[in-house]
Amino acid sequence: MKIGIFGGGAVGLLFAGNLGRVYDVTLIVRRESQVRSLMRNGITIHKKGSTTTTKVRAVQSIAAHEKLDLAIVAVKEYDLSSLEDALVKIGSDVPLLFVQNGIGHVEWVKSLPHHDLIAGSVEHGALKENDVTIHHLGEAGTNIALIRGKWGVVEEVVTKCIDSFPFIIQDDFEKMLLNKLFVNVSINPLTALTGVTNGKLTENPHFHLLQRELFSELLLLFPHMEGTISFDRVVDICRNTYQNRSSMLKDIESHRRTEIESILGVLLEKAQKENHFVPIMNVLYRLVKGIEREGLGG
C-alpha cells in the first residue's frame, strides 16, 4: 500500500516514521532542505529510551502520474487551503484522513470532491527536534471516524498497526472532534499565556479555576456534550501529561503562528451567532492573538 503524508511537522513525522515501517510512505513537505535531510537520514523517533530510524521517500509535490492508496493530511488547519489543488490532483478516489486540531476545518473538508473523507484525533504527544527527528513523548493512539464514504483501505491500516501504532474507530466524527476540542481549549491557551506545563494547570488554583470556567463556557456552546466528556477527564489528561508543553505554548515560544483561530476563533463566531456570553474565551483569544502578533513582528 502506498501512503502519502502531507506535512513535515511533529505529527507528519510521527505518522511517517511509524507507518513507514509497514507501508510504502511518501512524505510531502514544503522545503527542499527538509526533503534532502529526509532522503539522506530517514526519520528518527526517540521513545522511552529507545531510538528507531525509518527510511521514507520525501518530495515537495506528488507527480500527477503517482497513485496513492491513502493520503494523510497532517498540516496545521490554517495551511489546509494551500493544499487544495494538490489534494484534488491526486484524485477523488483516494481516501483522505485529516488530523487537525479544532473543528473549523470540517466544512472545508466536506467541500472537497473526494468520496471517502475521514477525521482523525491524535492523542499522541510528539516534539519535533529538527527536520528528521522527533521525541514520542506520549504513546497513545489516533481516533478516527468517517465524515463520509467508506473505510476501504483504512481498515487494513487499523488491523495491521493495532499493536505498533493504533487507530481506534469511532462512530461519530463530530463528538470525537469535540472531545479533543474540549481538551485543547481547556489546556492550550492557558499554557501558552502562562508558560507552564500541562500538569501545573491543575496545581495552581487560579489557573485551575479558569480551566473550570472555560469548560462551563464550552458546555454552553455544546450542551449535548454534557455526559460525553467531563471536567475530570480534562484534569486526568493534564496530570497524565504533566511535563508536556502544549503545542500552542511551543508555537508562542518559537514565534510561530498558533492554532488559536481553529481552537477558539471558531467558537467565538458560534457564540456571537447564538448570543452566548463567553468572557473567558474572549479574553484568552485576544491575549494569544496579541502575543502572537508581537512574536511574528506585528
- State the cell numbers at 278: 463567553
Question: Does 72 lie in the same domain as 33?
Answer: yes
Last residue of a domain, which of 144, 171, 198? 171
Q: Please give the Cα distance from 14 to 157 (Å, whole number).
A: 15
Question: Does 134 lie in the same domain as 21?
Answer: yes
**Which pLDDT score, from 0 to 100, does residue 297 have?**
62
Q: Please give the Cα distance from 152 to 95 (Å, whole number).
A: 8
**Which pLDDT score, from 0 to 100, does residue 64 have?**
72
Domain count, the chain: 2
Last residue of a domain, which of 152, 171, 190? 171
**Which pLDDT score, from 0 to 100, does residue 65 have?**
76
Question: Does 203 lie in the same domain as 181?
Answer: yes
Question: Does 119 lie in the same domain as 237?
Answer: no
Amino acid at 198: N
Question: Does 29 lie in the same domain as 157?
Answer: yes
Q: Cell numbers 499493536 label which residue?
A: 163
Q: Please give the Cα distance from 284 to 294 (Å, whole number).
A: 15
Q: Which of 76, 110, 180, 289 is catalytic?
A: 180
CATH number of the domain at 83, please. 3.40.50.720
Please choose, from the candidates 288, 177, 164, the residue with its C-alpha nearest in 3D space to the C-alpha of residue 222: 177
**Which pLDDT score, from 0 to 100, does residue 41 have?**
97
Question: Does 282 lie in the same domain as 161?
Answer: no
Last residue of a domain, which of 171, 192, 217? 171
**Which pLDDT score, from 0 to 100, does residue 298 have?**
54
For this structure, is 76 an active site residue? Answer: no
Question: Does 105 lie in the same domain as 12?
Answer: yes
Question: Does 131 lie in the same domain as 197?
Answer: no
CATH number of the domain at 216, please. 1.10.1040.10
Bridge partners of residue 51, in order along the sequence: 46
Question: Does 163 lie in the same domain as 39?
Answer: yes
Domain that holds residue 56: 2-171
Provide the 10 A C-beta neighbour count for residue 90: 20
Q: Per residue of the chain (298 residues), give pLDDT as tens.
A: 999 999 999 999 999 999 999 999 999 999 999 999 999 999 999 998 899 999 999 999 998 778 999 999 999 999 999 999 999 999 999 999 999 999 989 999 999 999 999 999 999 888 899 999 999 987 789 999 999 999 999 999 999 999 999 999 999 999 999 999 999 999 999 999 999 999 999 999 999 999 999 999 999 999 999 999 999 999 999 998 888 889 999 999 999 999 999 999 999 999 999 999 999 999 999 999 999 999 876 5
Question: Does 93 lie in the same domain as 226?
Answer: no
Question: Does 218 lie in the same domain as 143?
Answer: no
Contact 8, 30 (CB under 8 A): yes
